[in-house]
Amino acid sequence: MLSLKGKVAIVTGAGSVGPGWGNGKATAVLLARQGAKVFGLDNNPAAVEETIGIIKSEGGEATAHTCDVLDSESFQAAVEACIARYGHLDIMVNNVGGSHPGGAESMPEEVWDRQVDFNLKSAFLGCKFALPHLKKQPGSAIVNISSIAGYRMQAARPHVAYSATKYGIVALSKSVAIENAKAGVRCNTVVPGLMHTPLVEHRLVRQLGGNDAAALIAKRDAQVPLGKMGDGWDIAHAVLFLVSNEAKHVTGTELIVDGGVTAAGAV
Active-site residue, selected from the candidate residues 86, 151, 162, 167: 162
| β strands within the chain, DSSP E | 8-12, 37-42, 62-66, 91-94, 141-145, 186-192, 254-257
Nearest to 186 by CA among 116, 220, 135, 151: 135
CA 233 – CA 165 distance, rounded (Å)? 24
DSSP H or E run through 107: none
Q: Are 190 and 242 in contact (CB under 8 A)?
A: yes
129 φ/ψ sector (left φ>0, alpha ψ -120 to 50, else beta): alpha
Length of the chain: 267
Q: Is 162 a catalytic residue?
A: yes
Per-residue exposure over 99-130, b if at least 16 CB sit within 10 Å of its own CB, e if not: bbbbeeeebeeeebeebebbbbbbbbbbbebb
Q: Which residues are catalytic?
A: 162
